[in-house]
Amino acid sequence: MKQKLPLLLDCPRAAEFCDKVEYHEMDWTGKLQLRLHLLFCADCRGYWKRNRKLTQLLQKADLHTCTEQEKRQWQQQLQQAKSQESAP
């Protein structure tokens, strides 16, 4: 993704657009710009493919994470338990 192409998008911007597409946060004009860029840029096409594959893997793994609120709650419980243990 080093070369610059005489298109609307440069490579770093195209990479950002690739990411946004994976999160469904790209409008149709952005998608069109990206398509055009990908037609001429093999490096970005490579990134786009890897990125697509990564999204598929993440979906396949079906990971569940806890919320920040849940984490804060557990941290609080741990701190409380620790202070109770250290109390005489």
CB of 21 to other proteins, least distance (A): 12
CA atoms of 17 and 9, how far apart (whole Å) = 9
Structure tokens at 44: 């970005």
**Residue 87 sits in the site that holds other proteins (CB under 8 A):** no
- Burial label, 5 (beta-carbon count in 10 A; 0-12, 13-18, 19+): middle
Query: What is the distance between the terminal CA atoms of the chain, rounded to a whole angstrom?
Result: 62
CB of 81 to other proteins, least distance (A): 5
**Residue 54 sits in the site that holds other proteins (CB under 8 A):** yes
Q: Which residues contact other proteins by CB under 8 A? A: 15-16, 19-20, 22-23, 25, 50-51, 53-54, 57-58, 60-68, 70-71, 73-75, 77-78, 81-82, 85
